[in-house]
Structure 1
């Protein structure tokens, strides 16, 4: 089950059990060893900037709340860019009896656990678009805008240009402006 809202969540907050915690994906696995309840936390990336805005404590509390709710916390971070907050978060999930998968390990975990049909979906509709976006390597293309001719605007992004021609609609002008 994906995206369980806090009010219906099986994961309760340790500091206030009357409140639940949002879960990105909830899975109950039954095998020869019994039943295992898993609570997934998905992240595209973990950055120092976002983590420094007071949310990092919440990220750490998720793993603890899962453990105290008899669930295995599982962290999936698709972007492997290393930073101290990511290392700390992954370690906290493991110390709370959970698992953490980062980068290629996260993708492999998704494909392995999803099965063949969902693995194709993940590759085509999640992995491929992210890879395509990532080809920009953080470099922004040159951008410019200038006034051209009689009030036209020319936009430039890299080698591409777009001319926006000025068009006045007399019906929209007030008498004083005519």
Structure 2
């Protein structure tokens, strides 16, 4: 966040420098308002560029085995450009390498799910999927695993058909 602020300030300074150079070359013929308008426009363009490039940059830097399963696009009235084209502000990625199951319960799959947000730290959630019944549960302290691979204490949720998280976990 701090580096983006610095980049925005430098974009404004660069635009102001270019307008100053042009004005000097044109012997002062540019209107006085051109310098702050150019600086402001460059800062706005830098901010917009940063917003729209966050998801592709983050996606390209994901380690191998992490697959994006869900994205959330956002828009706001105070960012009018997002009303025309919303941008991805957060997403969930499944660690396919971490998918595991108990030999006695092959339909029960366990995996790690990571949540990324534009201005938020990455958070991790272990998820248990019951592929036979189409339900999943977040792993919490109350869950107990038994020797035969069964689970007790899970708070199961039954997501809509085609849930991307459940589909990806049960795909293997």
TM-score > 0.5, shorter chain as reference = no
Q: Which protein has greater RCO, CA pairs closer than 8 Å, 6+ apart?
A: 2
Q: Relative to total residues, which structure has the larger helix share, 1 or 2? A: 1
TM-score, normalised with respect to structure 1? 0.23
TM-score, normalised with respect to structure 2? 0.24
